[in-house]
């Protein structure tokens, strides 16, 4: 017996009718950047492994545990992209976009890959829509991006998203803080792994979710109390602008994101209906990323919103998307001649922008009408042998049951009129 196949672990298929909700979410996320002057960018699904390591950060979980890395037939080490920001900056530098008008505003939508332990809301293949503004330090860009994301969640009808906000400082103020934090953490009772993290990436320890670690973190020094004057001023301005824009947020001085490139503003949108994987989207400033990957200084800010978790959040709030893939017109030819005749009519309907489908599989009148009813169409166009001889079709309103004969030559106009 031949084996049967299933989607790989940690992945899932998007099928109708649920797939319509994913499209709705993607469209809602992309609408804002399009209105705010962001151009569409698409980068390869795999990148040079070194770019991902340098861009995302050697010490991150993403790089140490979660990459899908392979050697291609030419001996190059490539990695399936776990996120897009490093790729977008690479592409902007490669094509010299940063030498034109700044900021360079770009948005994207696509698949990303992380070898994580799968659970609800955490997949190995997932989908994000993102927006990045490269080459400006203006706090108003940070605020613009946060507002665009908040507005997208609002438009989707999500009431339960909370925005967490923090500043991670910059190379002026972070090193001294990092040292203070390390001193504090080294005095705690931590396991070897966590001690290792204190040496490499102490800020991540602040984000540890385990109760035995959390209870020891009371009194840990917080970066919010050690920002330099410039970072403090920038953060204050972002907050003031968000207040002007009517975006509510919660200051979360322990918010540390899982990517190493962040500086200054960082934020996360969380939804309480999702359990452990509560972040539906996040982002922040990454003023040093361009120089980290060999480019000039290009202070930038952006976000990526998770499509999969946002769909789960909509389900948790009971937000329904009318997602049946429905056509307005369903054509029912009875017999081979009628079938033959209606194929080009169907094409004309579609050219005229009337969504239309037809019964297939040579069913009789009863089966064909059942298919028409199930299709959810508003009108059925029934054509039998006698109709063909008279060059007419029977146009049936599937809601009222009312049926009239319409000359085939007038059918498209007639339907267009009825449907507008």
Residues in contact with ligand HAM by CB under 6 A are 83-85, 114, 116, 121-123, 126, 128, 130, 132, 257-259, 279-284, 286, 302-304, 306, 308-309
- Length of the chain equals 420
DSSP letters, 300-330, are EEEEEEEHHHHHHHHHHTT---------SEE
Tell me the C-alpha to C-alpha distance, in Å, between residue 178 and each of 138, 231, 271.
26, 16, 30
Least distance (Å) between residue 59 CB and ligand HAM:
15
CA-CA-CA-CA dihedral for 105, 110, 115, 116, to nearest 10 = 80
Tokens (6 digits) for 165: 């906000």
Closer of 238 and 280 to ligand HAM (Cβ): 280
Least distance (Å) between residue 177 CB and ligand HAM:
21
Contact 286, 262 (CB under 8 A): yes
Closer of 22 and 184 to ligand HAM (Cβ): 22
Which sign does the torsion angle of CA 168, 170, 174, 175 carry?
Answer: positive
Closer of 67 and 356 to ligand HAM (Cβ): 67
Does the N-terminal peptide bond of residue 3 adopt cis geometry, omega within 30 degrees of 0? no
Least distance (Å) between residue 26 CB and ligand HAM:
13
Least distance (Å) between residue 265 CB and ligand HAM:
10
Closer of 33 and 283 to ligand HAM (Cβ): 283
CB-based closest residue to ligand HAM: 306
| Residue 165, H or E segment | strand 161-167
Least distance (Å) between residue 272 CB and ligand HAM:
14
Closer of 288 and 306 to ligand HAM (Cβ): 306
Least distance (Å) between residue 81 CB and ligand HAM:
10
CA atoms within 13 A on the CB side of 56: 26
Closer of 202 and 306 to ligand HAM (Cβ): 306
């Amino acid at each position: 017996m031949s084996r049967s196949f299933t989607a790989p672990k940690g992945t899932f298929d998007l099928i109708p009718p649920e797939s319509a909700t994913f499209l709705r979410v993607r469209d809602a996320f992309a609408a804002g950047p399009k209105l705010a002057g962001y151009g569409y960018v698409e980068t390869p699904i795999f990148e040079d492994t070194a770019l991902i390591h340098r861009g995302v950060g050697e010490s991150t979980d993403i790089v140490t545990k979660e990459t899908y890395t392979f050697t291609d037939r030419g001996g190059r080490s490539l990695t399936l992209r776990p996120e897009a920001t490093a790729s977008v900056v690479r592409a902007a530098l490669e094509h010299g976009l940063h030498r034109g008008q700044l900021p360079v505003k770009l948005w994207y939508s696509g698949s990303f890959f992380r070898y994580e332990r799968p659970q609800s809301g955490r997949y190995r293949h997932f989908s994000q829509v993102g927006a990045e503004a490269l080459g400006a330090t203006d706090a108003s860009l940070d605020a613009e991006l946060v507002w665009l994301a908040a507005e997208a969640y609002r438009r989707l009808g999500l009431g339960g998203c909370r925005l967490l906000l923090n500043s991670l400082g910059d190379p002026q103020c972070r090193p001294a803080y990092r040292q203070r934090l390390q001193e504090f953490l080294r005095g705690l009772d931590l396991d070897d792994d966590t001690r290792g993290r204190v040496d490499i990436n102490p800020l991540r320890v602040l984000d540890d979710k385990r109760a035995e670690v959390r209870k020891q973190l009371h009194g840990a020094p917080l970066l919010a109390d050690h920002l330099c004057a410039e970072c403090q001023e920038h953060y204050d301005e972002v907050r003031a602008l968000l207040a002007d824009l009517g975006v509510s947020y919660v200051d979360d001085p322990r918010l540390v994101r899982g990517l190493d490139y962040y500086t200054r503003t960082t934020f996360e949108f969380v939804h309480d209906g999702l359990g452990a994987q509560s972040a539906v989207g996040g982002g922040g400033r990454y003023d040093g990323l361009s120089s980290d990957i060999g480019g000039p200084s290009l202070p930038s800010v952006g976000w990526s919103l998770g499509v999969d978790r946002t769909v789960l959040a909509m389900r948790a709030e009971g937000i329904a998307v009318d997602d049946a893939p429905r056509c307005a017109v369903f054509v029912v030819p009875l017999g081979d001649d009628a079938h033959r005749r209606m194929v080009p009519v169907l094409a004309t309907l579609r050219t005229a922008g009337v969504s239309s489908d037809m019964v297939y599989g040579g069913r009789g009148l009863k089966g064909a009408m059942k298919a028409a009813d199930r299709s959810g169409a508003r009108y059925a166009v029934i054509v039998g042998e006698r109709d063909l001889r008279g060059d007419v079709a029977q146009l049936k309103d599937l809601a009222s049951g009312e049926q009239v004969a319409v000359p085939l030559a007038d059918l498209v106009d007639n339907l267009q009129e009825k449907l507008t």
